[in-house]
Amino acid sequence: AACTPTPRPNPSPRHALRTPPRQSSSAHVSLVPNYGAASGGYFQTSIKVPHGHSGRHTTKMILHVPRGMLSVKPTKPAGWSVAMSTYDLAEEDRYESHGSLVTTGPDKITFTADSLDDALHNDHLLNIPLQLKLGCSFKDQVQDDYSGSNSVWQGQHTLWFKMEQFSSADEDLNHDKVSPWTGAQKDDAEGMSPSWNPPSASGVKACPYLIIYAGSRCSLDHSGTPVTGGMDWMNAYVKPAENMDAVLNEQHVITLATEAALDAQESLDGVYASGATLLTTTNTLKGHDSDIDALRARVAKLEGDNNTLNIAVAALALAAAALGVISLLCVFRVSNKKQFAYSISGLPIVTNLPTLSATKEIDLGKA
């Protein structure tokens, strides 16, 4: 099927932004928006990249462009280098642009931080605007091993933007940790849709996606008959959408529900991870029961020794108090003998004793 997208001026680019993370459990790469792109048309979106491995900086990202995408123009983040590799387009997918025949399409886009300071820190998100030009033919079917980049998923024609996110811990930018956001999904033969996030045993994570629809811009050869509009999906002609509002509303609802489901799953995974950590800690403690019992015995002994010490301190305090009382009595005895005697014996003390001469007179009188 020949493919001739209708050209259109490119929209003005937006800046790549580093922003604080949303107050959400979201921790996955996604396109924003990720629905509403028409075959043969242009579409502007941003790829949102969260932090990578905990305690590390994201220093490199490789974006695998899905087949059927004729052009991708990313906005270069400040402090990053951007390189793009291409592949040869099939003859029926080649197209004219500004009077020249375009024979290659975008394959991979590699983003590399120039230094650790320019890298994506754990506390931020990186939003990279992308200007897309969609083709009219999509034949890279997603397989059971998550390979491929085109599929019908949740009943929608979906393009998968696989990304590998690399993290570094030091200035060497060794990119030694990778998060594979490459789990492209597809509906099964019965039309059942798997969840966005593949099983953990698969070794891959939820892949960014874009839901598209058959637009009105393509010129196709359908079974030998030239047609305008629609798209070629796995060598089958898909007619252009008739009710655009209904199509966009359905796609919007699907993406909102999908995002909410993955957020909930990530929250539950976080709770499970916390529970698993607690269980591991508990089992570790159980393995040291004898050590814990010995520690408890030592604590009990220390508590007993502490009680003895408290009693000794109290006795010492009482002895000191008694010594203080005795010292005060001694001082009182020396300084005021009469008052001391009265205080000790409880006997009244004559304060006005007769003089010696008066005593003699009394004695003489008696005589």
Q: Could you tell me if 184 and 260 are in contact, meaning their C-beta atoms sit under 8 angstroms apart? A: no
Name the least confident of 118-132, 135-149, 260-274, 282-296.
Answer: 282-296
Q: Which residue, among 185, 187, 186, 196, has the nearest Cα to 255 in the 3D structure?
A: 196
In a domain, 362, yes or no: no
In a domain, 364, yes or no: no
Q: Could you tell me if 87 and 105 are in contact, meaning their C-beta atoms sit under 8 angstroms apart? A: yes
Type of residue found at 123:
D
Q: At residue 181, does pLDDT exceed 70?
A: yes
Q: By CB neighbour count within 10 A (0-12 exposed, 13-18 middle, 19+ buried), where does 106 fall? A: buried
In a shared domain, residues 195 and 312: no
In a shared domain, residues 227 and 167: yes
Type of residue found at 152:
V
CATH number at residue 159: 2.60.40.2230
In a domain, 4, yes or no: no
Q: Would you say the C-alpha torsion 292, 296, 302, 306 has a positive or negative sign?
A: positive
Query: CA-to-CA distance for 294 and 282, rounded, in angstroms?
Result: 18
Q: Which residue, among 182, 330, 247, 192, has the nearest Cα to 38 in the 3D structure?
A: 247
Query: What is the residue whose two structure tokens read 């790469």?
Result: 29
Three-class secondary structure of residue 222 per DSSP = strand
Question: What is the per-residue DSSP string for 148-196?
Answer: -SEEEETTEEEEE-EEEEEEESSTT----EEEEE-B-----TTS----S
In a shared domain, residues 89 and 177: yes
Domain holding 303, by residue range, is: 293-352
Tokens of 61: 């990202």
Q: How far is CA 155 from CA 183, 223, 242, in A?
A: 18, 25, 17
Q: Would you say the C-alpha torsion 50, 162, 156, 10 has a positive or negative sign?
A: positive
Which pLDDT score is estimated for 224?
84
Query: CA-to-CA distance for 148 and 166, rounded, in angstroms?
Result: 22
* Between 327 and 219, the higher pLDDT residue: 219
- Condensed to tens digits (0 to 9), the pLDDT of residues 37-92 reads 999 999 999 999 987 777 789 999 999 999 999 999 999 999 999 999 999 999 98
- Condensed to tens digits (0 to 9), the pLDDT of residues 191-246 reads 999 999 999 999 999 999 999 999 999 999 878 889 999 999 999 999 999 999 99
In a domain, 247, yes or no: yes
Q: Could you tell me if 248 and 36 are in contact, meaning their C-beta atoms sit under 8 angstroms apart? A: yes
Q: Rounded to 5 degrees, what are φ and ψ at 191?
A: 85, 10
Last residue of a domain, one of 248, 283, 318: 283
The three-state DSSP-derived secondary structure of 81-123 is EEEEEEEECCHHHCEEECCEEECEEEEEEEEEECCCCCCECCC
Last residue of a domain, one of 254, 283, 312: 283
Q: How many domains are there within the chain? A: 2
Q: Could you tell me if 26 and 267 are in contact, meaning their C-beta atoms sit under 8 angstroms apart? A: no
In a domain, 34, yes or no: yes
Helix residue ranges per DSSP H, the chain: 244-286, 289-335, 337-345, 356-366
Mean pLDDT, range 263-281, rounded to an integer: 65
Query: CA-to-CA distance for 8 and 80, rounded, in angstroms?
Result: 29
Q: What is the pTM of this model?
A: 0.70
Query: What is the residue whose two structure tokens read 């197209």?
Result: 95
In a shared domain, residues 116 and 187: yes
Q: At residue 330, does pLDDT exceed 80?
A: no
Q: At residue 105, does pLDDT exceed 70?
A: yes
**Beta-strand pair 209-213/35-38:** parallel
In a shared domain, residues 146 and 217: yes
Q: Rounded to 5 degrees, what are φ and ψ at 128?
A: -115, 110
In a domain, 27, yes or no: yes
In a shared domain, residues 87 and 211: yes
Which pLDDT score is estimated for 13?
44
In a shared domain, residues 139 and 230: yes
Residue 232 DSSP label: E
Last residue of a domain, one of 229, 262, 283: 283
In a shared domain, residues 195 and 264: yes
In a shared domain, residues 307 and 267: no
In a shared domain, residues 277 and 297: no
In a shared domain, residues 142 and 180: yes
State the chain's mean pLDDT as an integer: 82
In a domain, 130, yes or no: yes
In a shared domain, residues 214 and 346: no
Which pLDDT score is estimated for 44?
98
In a domain, 1, yes or no: no
Three-class secondary structure of residue 212 per DSSP = strand
